[in-house]
Structures are given as structure tokens and as C-alpha cells.
Amino acid sequence: MESFLAALLLQAGYNAALVGIGAALLGFAAGAAGTFLFLRKRALVSDAVAHATLPGIGLAFIVLVALGGDGRNLIGLLAGSAVTAWIGLICVEWMARRTRLSEDAAIGAVLSVFFGIGIVLLTVIQTLGTGRQAGLEGFLLGSTAGMLFEDAVLIAIGGGFAVLATWLLRRPMTLVAFDPDYAAASGYDVRRIDIAIMALVMAVTVIGLKLVGLVLIVALLIIPPVTARFWTERAELVIWSAGALGAVSGYLGAAISASAPALPTGPIIVLVAAALFLFSLLFAPARGVAAALIGHRRFQVRVHRRQGLLALTREEPILEPYTLRLLTAEGLTRPDGVATEAGRAQAAKVARDEHRWEVARDIHQDAALTGRYDGLTPIEEVFTPDEIAEFDRRIGAPRAIEGPA
């Protein structure tokens, strides 16, 4: 626990502090940028982009070594991965538009082919007798043990530009994500905005290779936006909430990894993001599973309560045991099913509301208005007091529910 707190407070060593800050910056950029892929329903594009970076890493290493340089120069490797990732994006976009293949089929083809080429190149590199190929496979799952200050600066700058681009393009990208036809009618070039979204994701993928690897960067792009969606209905809040959740996932994951050196950083970051997703899935106030169960329970109570009160208005016995228990617990009936004074008053109100809705349908002849009647929505939420008074005038004096003799 002490080591975790030390890592959390950036006191676990220079390298651990670099990784923690870099992971938080990368998480924020990935969460914010990945939101548009999620809203556009193109989450698999990030998978294709990530796998398309692998051949670029291998080719960049070979070129750097051939030029007499250090084959593991991070800037050179990231530049190579960016080139092949862009080629992969263009291939997906071209096949989806120019052939009969669906977009998911194009993504699957690009993902498989590029990843296969990348694995072959890495295998070839491992047989070479030149360069510093040891540890190059760390780009698959991430490698932070040898992270330098320059690497953290590169992640910070790249992440900063990605966040800035997200902020500048948030409105057209949000519009295209929700309604591309309306965006096109408004004068936006949907194809270019789609490419901008993919390019933004590609940029985040490339800068995240060192930290979490090409296999796991997909999770950091998609899980935070999905998690944020549980907490808000507003697109702009989803963007920045996803960024915040990504930053928290990156920072906490790096701190946990630093406190337990045997645990790899990238997978731990993804597991923290998954834990936040699971918590949101269960406990988000509006869209979580618990909220849905509570809402269903409340709806069930309202239905049983209404059915029981209607039975009282018709002086019928309440046959459903749950309904009787509910009305008894609320003091509306005695355990034998006989209505109390409060129950008779509530039953009279329900019966009168039924008559009010009948009059409302005759007066308004408006399905959009009177169609809101479901037996559970209070009439006071639909009509004004003056309108209800007019309904009552037409109905006449209310009839009380008779009590037991």
C-alpha cells in the first residue's frame, strides 16, 4: 500500500513519475479522440489502425539500421508506424467506398494483412545480426521500463496536439457522428471529416505505442468513451468526460504497475479502464443496470398500486397477494382487503382521473396530447388546473367510495 501511495504521489522514482504523467496525458487524448469513433459507430477502425502500425515499426527499424543509425530510435519508429497506419486507413476507406465489401469486412482484411506483414518483419529482424532489435516486440503490449524523458515529452506534445485538434473540430465531427446526412446538407464535407476523425485516432495510436502497445491502445480509445456515455446524454460532456476517465485510467494503472514491478503497465491501465466501465455499467444513475432495475421496480409498484385502487373503485376483491401487501403497507387497505379511509380517497381520485381523461379526449381530439395517457402519468402533469376544473365541471360532483357497513 505504501508503494502504491508513493507512486500515486509521484514519489516512486524518476521513471515511475514519467510513466504516470505520460500515461495520464495519453489517456486523456485517447479518451477524447476515441469518442468520435464511438459515436460514429466505427470502433473497429481503431483496431485496424493499431494493427497497421506494426509493419511500419519493422520497416522503420530496417531503414534506420541500413542508414547506420540506432534501429530503436523512437521518433523514427513512430514515423514509420504513422506511414503504414495511414496507408491502412486509406485502404479501409477505399475498399468501403469503391468495392462491395462492407466496412467491417474491409477493416478485417486490413487488420489481418497488415498485422501478418508486421509479424513477419519482426521475425526477420530478430534474425539480423545488426541493430538493437532486442525488446522491439515491446511495441505489441507496451514497454515502459526504459522510458526516457524525451519519450514522455513526445507523448505530451503529441497528446496535446491531439486534444487541441479534438477541441477545434469537435462541432463538425459531432455533427457527422450523429447525422452525416444533415452535416452534408449543412455544407460539411463528410468524407473529409471522417478522414480527420481517423487521422486523429491514428495520431493517438502512434504516440501510445511505446506506453501501452498496439494491441491495447484500442481499449484506451474505446473504453473511456463508452464509460462516459453511461453518465451523460450531452455529446460535448461525453468527449471531455471520456478524456478525464482515460487520464484517471492511465495514471492509476501506471501507479499500480509501479508499486508491483512484475505487472506490465499497459495491461494494468486497460484493466483499470475496464473496472471504471464495469462500475459505470452497474451504478450509473441514469443508464446503469442498478438504475434500470430500480426504475423497473418502481414502475411495477405503480402498476400494482393503480390496479389495486381500480379494484377498490369497483368494489372487487384484490386477488393479487403482492398488490394487497403493497396497499396494506401504504395504509390504503386492511390486511383483509377492505379499504381504509385513505384508500377510499385514493381510489376515488383514480376513478375521477379516468373520467377526466375521457372528457379530455372528447374536448381536445389530439392524439399527441391525450395519447400520453398510460394510467400512470398524473393528469396534473399534462393539463393545467383550469383545464382540469373544466373537466370536473363536465363530469359533475364526485362520487365517494363506500366504506364497509
pLDDT in tens, 213-224: 777 788 889 999
> Burial of 97 by CB count in 10 Å (0-12 exposed, 13-18 middle, 19+ buried)?
exposed
Does position 131 have pLDDT exceeding 60, yes or no?
no
Q: In the beta sheet, which residues pair with residue 333?
A: 339
pLDDT given for residue 405 in this prediction: 42
pLDDT in tens, 189-216: 888 888 888 888 888 888 887 777 777 7
**Closest CA relative to residue 238, chosen from 32, 24, 82:** 32
pLDDT given for residue 265 in this prediction: 79
As a whole number, mean pLDDT of residues 121-137 equals 68
Summary mean pLDDT of the chain: 83
Does position 245 have pLDDT exceeding 90, yes or no?
yes
- pLDDT band, residue 401 (cuts 50/70/90): very low
Does position 274 have pLDDT exceeding 90, yes or no?
yes
pLDDT in tens, 47-91: 888 888 889 888 888 888 888 776 667 788 888 888 998 998 888
Q: In the beta sheet, which residues pair with residue 339?
A: 333
Q: Name the 3-class secondary structure at 134.
A: coil
Does position 340 have pLDDT exceeding 60, yes or no?
yes
- pLDDT band, residue 133 (cuts 50/70/90): low
Q: Name the 3-class secondary structure at 258.
A: helix
- pLDDT band, residue 247 (cuts 50/70/90): very high
- The CATH number fitting domain 2-277, selected from 3.30.200.20, 1.10.3470.10, 3.30.110.40, 3.40.50.300: 1.10.3470.10
Q: For residue 323, give the C-alpha cell.
A: 398488490
pTM, 2 dp: 0.78
Where exactly are the structural domains of the chain?
A: 2-277, 290-395
Ramachandran region of residue 130, left (φ > 0), alpha (ψ -120 to 50) or beta?
A: beta
